[in-house]
Structure 1
């Protein structure tokens, strides 16, 4: 049985770990506080309390990394911590790493962005990606998600506080539902797509005006103020590579049809 360790069982990592267990994998998961251990045990995930921002040497990384695959699903940008983790990985059984990244590594180019477009070298997240990709101790697949939405993450709630406005209202949005994030990572593992970089984004790209107007209307929040501009700064994330290589059909291809009532 393939064993997988999920570093960071939060908004994305927890449902991912649960889904991997249901697909027959042996899963270990990490949280940052002991209070969350019971929730992992309840879904048959072996729990660990770990913190990349703490003193790594004093934590139980050796046991946690006794797996075939490591999925990194934490928002930390602590390069020192990740450098220490990579050092530990070199003497672990881990063969493959999936690094959850973001399309924020790309600058706005007012055009379609594929994986062939160079990421910003000044992006800390891209620098961390590179630390993993350059290691010869394991292979790394980087998956760059667009804006994460779904379930407890309703973008309309951002505007519950008054005074928040939106610039570039006619620029297209790049979003992806949690369910597609989980299934895409699962398919990367099942199909063994290693040493790759993937963009992951829904098919549709409505304008900010359309998207956030509907998102706020769904929960009865006042429509945000839009800062009008003659020119728009944007990027449109292409998902063609990941759809083609995984033969994947999105669960939520149209972000305007996403419901947040669960």
Structure 2
């Protein structure tokens, strides 16, 4: 399968599309902005204007073997409509990018088998894909995203206090996100749910101080919390099943 469609060519989708082009794939990519269509075309991506909340038909965009969904929408109705169109398309495999925000902070290490936040829209959307039998889906729950234009030093600006300074950081670099997606496809690993997060979990205080120092910014301000809440995301499963080693596994070497 060498035809891939990427729904959402933003921070992750655009460099992901480029990486597939470099491997000889035929790549379709989408944006909700007409202003970005030309720049995608100039990269060699067959660009499509797609906004799933507008309930249009995306027949041409869905003429691929693999669909990667990398948008931030949590509109359940829109995803139900999208899935109905995928069922009628040539798409055989789907990678749905979810988030570790589906796990509550209950002061423990969280695996793919642990309880999820009640009524979280991403959980409902995950289940829509997981339960569909017209195509195969693998779900990736990425931790906090950094790399490229996203540098943690730029977060919590303008005097905003950072909560839970003694809590732990769960982050993943853009390059690891891209490589894990490639490994899922290369190893034909479908009908799975994976956490994806670097193994290093410094405290939020350590991490954000180091991030600001690395850019020469003023040190962050932390909010002292009455209740200590944390979670650590385990990526043991993705490392074991895909035999994956993280490229950026030391979060203090930003």
* TM-score, L = length of structure 2: 0.96
1:99 equivalenced with 2:99 (yes/no): no
Distance in 1 between the 2:229 and 2:129 partners?
Answer: 31
Distance in 1 between the 2:151 and 2:109 partners?
Answer: 25
Distance in 1 between the 2:193 and 2:245 partners?
Answer: 18
SS of the residue 2:85 aligns to: helix
Distance in 1 between the 2:151 and 2:176 partners?
Answer: 16
- The answer on whether the counterparts of 2:62 and 2:86 sit within 8 Å (CA) in structure 1 is yes
Mean alpha-carbon deviation: is it higher for 94-103 or for 36-45?
36-45
1:175 equivalenced with 2:171 (yes/no): yes
Matched pairs, number = 254
Q: 1:211-246: per-residue Cα shift (whole Å, max 9, x none)?
A: 011111222322221122464201100011101111
Within a 5 Å distance, the mapping from 1:18-29 to structure 2 comes to 18-29=18-29
Shift of 1:122: 1.0
- The answer on whether the counterparts of 2:95 and 2:137 sit within 8 Å (CA) in structure 1 is yes
* TM-score, L = length of structure 1: 0.94
Matching residue within 177, 187, 197 for 1:201: 197
SS of the residue 2:53 aligns to: coil
Matching residue of 1:30:
30
Distance in 1 between the 2:71 and 2:127 partners?
Answer: 16
1:218 equivalenced with 2:236 (yes/no): no
Matching residue of 2:224:
228
Matching residue of 2:157:
160
- The answer on whether the counterparts of 2:156 and 2:162 sit within 8 Å (CA) in structure 1 is no
Matching residue of 2:186:
190
- The answer on whether the counterparts of 2:52 and 2:79 sit within 8 Å (CA) in structure 1 is yes
Matching residue of 2:114:
117
SS of the residue 2:4 aligns to: strand
Matching residue within 114, 121, 139 for 2:136: 139
Gaps of 5+ in 1: none
Distance in 2 between the 1:170 and 1:112 partners?
Answer: 15
Shift of 1:155: 1.4
Mean alpha-carbon deviation: is it higher for 198-207 or for 222-231?
222-231
SS of the residue 1:227 aligns to: coil
Mean alpha-carbon deviation: is it higher for 164-173 or for 152-161?
152-161
Distance in 2 between the 1:196 and 1:55 partners?
Answer: 28
Gaps of 5+ in 2: none
Distance in 2 between the 1:189 and 1:28 partners?
Answer: 16
